[in-house]
Amino acid sequence: MHLTRHTDYALRLLMLLAAEPDKLHTIEEAARRYGVSRNHLMKVAQTLTQAGFVKGIRGRAGGLKLALPPEEINLGKVVRATEENFNIVECFDMEVNTCPIARNCGLKTPLREAATAFLNVLDGYALSDLAAKPGAAQTIRRLAV
């Protein structure tokens, strides 16, 4: 399994918002702290807002904050909301599939089971579990402000 940058940045942004819950974070500040593209992070924030994980506060003193408590933000749901699909091999998408053995290939079932297992593991974790790792929140807070 490979997660897109969109999902990677979404998880990072959520961890920042969880580590500093009393502060509103701008996209510019989060992008600078993580050393990532502001434009890409803007798209990520839009996805997270539309999915109900993040709330955007407009105005001069605005920014982003969590829309839910960290214990209510399920990692499996976040990944499902931020990943376009889970077609880990070409034959999972019959519209673009060119594999000549796809119809009778025995590989599809174990790969689908693996993708399902991957998501099932993430379903067992909340954003609060990420912050529970010793030193995690402190490391995020120390990112260049």
Q: Give the helix ranges, DSSP H, for 20-144.
A: 27-34, 38-50, 75-82, 108-123, 127-131, 136-141
pTM of structure: 0.86
How confident is the model over 96-106, as a mean pLDDT? Answer: 81
Percent residues over pLDDT 90 in the chain: 61
Say which residue, 59 or 73, is predicted with more confidence.
73
pLDDT at 13: 96
**What's the Rg (C-alpha) of the chain?**
18
pLDDT tens for 9-54 read 999 999 999 998 889 999 999 999 999 999 999 999 999 999 999 9
pLDDT greater than 60 at residue 144: no
Give the highest mean pLDDT range of 56-65, 72-81, 87-96: 72-81
pLDDT of residue 145: 55
Q: Distance between CA atoms of 114 and 108, rounded to whole angstroms?
A: 10
- In 3-state terms, what secondary structure has residue 57? strand
**Closest residue by Cα to residue 17 from 73, 96, 84:** 73
Q: Taking all residues of the chain, what is their mean pLDDT, rounded to a whole number?
A: 89
